[in-house]
Amino acid sequence: MITNDHDRRKQISVRGIAQVENVSNIKKAFNRHLHFSIIKDRNVATDRDYYFALANTVRDHLVSRWIRTQQHYYDKDPKRVYYLSLEFYMGRTLSNTMMNLGIQATVDEALYQLGLDIEELQEIEEDAGLGNGGLGRLAACFLDSMATLGIPAYGYGLRYEYGIFKQLIRDGWQIEEPDDWLRFGNPWEKARPEYMLPVNFYGKVIKEE
């Protein structure tokens, strides 16, 4: 018999949530996200909607592991690495995440049974506009290495709204355009406004009543 709120809240756990480790669960999660997260059905859904449903499905599996890892850190309180960089050249997250979780073949089969092509959906993802040079690639490699070694590590940087500019050639001349990589949203990020802090650049703030 559970007699207090503290014990009751132990039922709020990621461990009781079904994982997406088999074809059947992936299909169920995909359908759930398409209808309840994207709020569309197959009659009006676009390939981009299917991509977002897939990304959310894969993210569920990733997040459950992330939460369990954080809970382990809370219990053991290990030393942590905080890596600061102006760039993180992460590339595309969907294919990388499926490969690291070891579920790409299973997801491929689930999508095939739903009449969808995994490669076509992967091509829809935008490259994260967080960096594209050697500095960003080095930072991303460091994070990958620390994750592989099981080192508690976090990357901190700038979330560039327009990323790195797009380079176009017109009539033999270079034309620059902003890289609006977030125009459709990003399923791989979660805003935490409760942790937002003001960063001041001299001057002063005037509020008018």
132 falls within a domain: yes
Q: Is the pLDDT of residue 73 over 70?
A: yes
Give the per-residue pLDDT at 203: 75
- What CATH number has the domain bearing residue 51? 3.40.50.2000
Is position 24 within any domain?
yes
100 assigned to some structural domain: yes
> Distance (Å, rounded) from C-alpha 73 to C-alpha 82?
14
- Judge whether 105 lies within some domain: yes
| Structural domain contains residue 10 | no
pTM for the model stands at 0.85
Average per-residue pLDDT in the chain? 89
Is the separation of the CB atoms in 24 and 1 below 8 Å? Answer: no
* Amino acid at the residue 114: L
Task: Say whether pLDDT at 16 is over 70.
Answer: no
Q: Which domain holds residue 100?
A: 16-195
pLDDT in tens, 164-202: 787 889 899 998 888 899 999 999 999 999 998 887 777
Does the structure show a pLDDT above 90 at 206? no
Residue carrying the six token digits 């500095």:
135
Does 140 reside within a domain? yes
Evaluate whether residue 101 is within a structural domain.
yes
Number of separate domains in the chain: 1
pLDDT of residue 113: 96
Percent of the chain past pLDDT 90, that is, above it, reads 67
Tokens representing residue 62 in the block: 């990733």
Higher-confidence residue of 191 and 17: namely: 191
| Residue 105 confidence class, pLDDT cut points 50, 70, 90 | very high
| Residue 156 lies inside a defined structural domain of this protein | yes
Q: What's the confidence (pLDDT) of residue 14?
A: 66
Residue 28's Cβ-count burial label (10 Å; 0-12, 13-18, 19+) is: middle
Q: Is the pLDDT of residue 209 over 90?
A: no
Mean pLDDT of 119-133: 92
